[in-house]
Every structure is written in structure tokens, then in C-alpha cells.
Amino acid sequence: MSLSLALLILVTLQRMSELAWARRNTRRLKARGAVEVASGHYGLIVLVHTAWLLGLWVLAWDRPLAPGWAGVYVALQVARFWVLASLGERWTTRIIVLPRTPLVRTGPYRFMNHPNYLVVAAEIAVLPLAFGLVGYAILFSLLNAAVLTVRIRAETRALKEFCQPQVT
């Protein structure tokens, strides 16, 4: 098995397991009184991310892997796990807010408001670059940026409306 194929398999399995975890977290949060907000753009996020991964399967499964970019992608996974661990049960793929709870301000959230989106944006660019697909990286980075513009605004509004500021 080639390294390219192995990497695509691992990324796909990772994304599938994260979706299962997100669904479980969503159910648990809603059972505790959490609400979903601004769901109208969710289908577009799913479409962009699914097209990105499926396109990589079509275009990259047999391409040589650039070790430097592959290394950057692996490093991004460390940041991704840090984000997920920091959010714990509050990590979902949707905007689910638990009213009257403090914002998470641990891990990378000590330094910025939306580190998950920074990691995702970097992944969307870096993985295609690891396969030498520069145009693909640019195209999906632009599509993701458009979706994230809507997403971050909606999430920021929801967090301000429903969550308590953390007292320091």
C-alpha cells in the first residue's frame, strides 16, 4: 500500500470517527438543554468537506506524497487533537450551545476564539499540497473561507447570546 493511499484511509477514518463523536456529543448536549442555532449553512459545510475528501480520493490516491507537506499535515493533527480535547463533550460539527455555561478558555482557546477553524482551514490547504495539488488546495481553501465566514459569524453571535463570559 502506498503512503498516499494510507494517508487518505487514515484521514477518512478520522473524519468518520469524529462525525460519530460529534453526533454523540450533540445528543448529550441537547439532553442537557443545549440548542442548535444557525443550522441553515450546515449542509453547505458538509458539501464542501465531503467534496474535498472525495476529490482527494479521485485525484490523489496514487500520487507521490511530498514528505514536508505530509509532515505539516501530521503536525496539524496534534493541534486538532488539542482543540478536540479542550472542548471535550462540547465539540460538535454543528453550532450547539448550552445556555448559561461559561465559554471554554482552556487549551488553544486561551489564545484565540476559534482555533478549530484555523486548524481546519490549514488542513484543507495542506493535505492537497502534500499530494502536489496546488490548484485544488486554493479552490477548496476559497470555498472553505466562504463557508467559514458565515459559520464564524453565526457561532460568535450564538456564544455571545447564550453563554456566560468567564470571570477571571
3-state secondary structure of 98: coil
Q: What is the mean pLDDT of the chain?
A: 95
Q: Is residue 95 part of a domain?
A: yes
The amino acid present at 86, given as its one-letter code, is S
CA angle 117, 55, 11 (to 5 degrees): 55
For the segment 66-84, what is each residue's pLDDT rounded down to a tens digit? 999 999 999 999 999 999 9
pLDDT of residue 88 exceeding 90, the answer is yes
106 three-class SS: coil
Specify burial of residue 7 (Cβ count, 10 A radius: 0-12, 13-18, 19+): buried
Residue 98 inside a domain? The answer is: yes
Instruction: Give, in order, the Cα–Cα distances in Å from 23 to each of 16, 18, 54, 91.
Output: 11, 9, 21, 10
> In the predicted model, is pLDDT for residue 168 greater than 50?
no
Residue 88: inside a domain, yes or no? Answer: yes
Cell (9 digits) for 128 = 492537497
In a domain, 168, yes or no: no
Look at residue 135 and tell me whether its pLDDT is greater than 50. Answer: yes
The confidence score (pLDDT) of residue 166 equals 54
What would you report as the CA-atom Rg of the chain, rounded to the nearest whole angstrom?
17
Q: With respect to residue 167, please indicate whether it lies within any of the assigned structural domains.
A: no
How many structural domains does the chain have?
1
In a domain, 73, yes or no: yes
The yes-or-no verdict on residue 138 having pLDDT over 80 is yes
User: Do the beta carbons of residue 90 and residue 25 sit within 8 Å?
Assistant: yes
Structural domain for 11, as ranges: 3-162
Q: In the chain, what is the straight-line distance between the N-terminal and C-terminal CA atoms, in Å?
A: 52
Q: Report whether pLDDT(95) > 70.
A: yes
Average pLDDT for 99-104: 93
Query: Is residue 164 predicted with pLDDT exceeding 80?
Result: no
CA distances (Å), 163 to each of 87, 153, 154, in order?
Answer: 14, 15, 14
Cell 453565526 found at = 154
Rounded to whole angstroms, the Cα distance separating 7 from 30 reads 34
Q: pLDDT by residue (tens digit) across 29-51?
A: 999 999 999 999 999 999 999 99
CATH of the domain at 129: 1.20.120.1630
Q: What are phi and psi of 103, to 5 degrees?
A: -65, 150
Stated pTM of the model: 0.93
